[in-house]
Amino acid sequence: MLDKEISRRRLLLGAGCVMGASLLSFPAQASRSTNSRDLSFFNLNTGERVKASYWEKGRYLPDGLAELNHLLRDYRRDEVFNIDRKLFDQLYLLQQRLGHQGEIQLISGYRSPATNNAKHRRSKGVAKHSYHVLGQAVDVRLPGVQLAQLRKAALQLNVGGVGYYPRDNFVHLDTGPVRSW
């Protein structure tokens, strides 16, 4: 009887471990699946391009992150901000899901509070408390990928927010709660 109870406990413990592992976020699981991660951006506002390795062998690379942070800066005020690393992971996973190796076209990255307030005053489409101000959001498109396909793939990741703006030709991605509009 004691052997059956121990076996049952082991079975329940094993099942619990499997269930717990399945609850880990998709980006966390994927971060262990490759030796390095690169992202390539074209900033449509400044004309700047960058290709940077931001993660390698299980750790984030400060130089690569600095390059990406600079490109995603608030170009209006030339303010650089530390972008949420999970956002880079989200973009990387999105490209992997879509089989897209090219540049990500950046419409908007970090926005300083002053820039966001000015944009909010001019347009009701700009959130007063935007994730852009926190360095947790980007507005992007991928050349060669239909916008609806980009949105669908982003929704399938089931991480963060996904906004669909077909009239303005971009998809918004953020590392906030899972939601879509």
Residues 6+ positions from 6 with CB-CB distance below 8 Å: none
Burial class (CB in 10 A: 0-12, 13-18, 19+), 152: middle
Q: What angle do CA 75, 67, 164 make, to 5 degrees?
A: 60
The better pLDDT of the pair 123, 102 is held by 102
At 67, give phi and psi (nearest 5°).
Answer: -65, -45
In this prediction, residue 34 carries a pLDDT of 67
Q: Residue 33: pLDDT band by 50, 70, 90 thresholds?
A: low
Mean pLDDT of 53-65: 98
Q: Tell me what percent of the residues of the chain surpass a pLDDT of 70.
A: 81
Indicate the pLDDT class of residue 18, thresholds 50, 70 and 90.
very low
Q: Is 181's pLDDT higher than 80? A: yes
Q: Which two tokens stand for residue 124?
A: 């009701």
Q: How far apart are the first and last CA of the chain?
A: 56
- Residue 23, pLDDT > 80, answer no
Give residue-wise pLDDT tens across range 109-154.
Answer: 999 999 998 887 888 778 878 999 999 999 999 999 999 999 999 9
Mean pLDDT of the chain: 86
Fold of 31-180: Muramoyl-pentapeptide Carboxypeptidase; domain 2 (3.30.1380)
Q: Where are the domains of the chain?
A: 1-25, 31-180
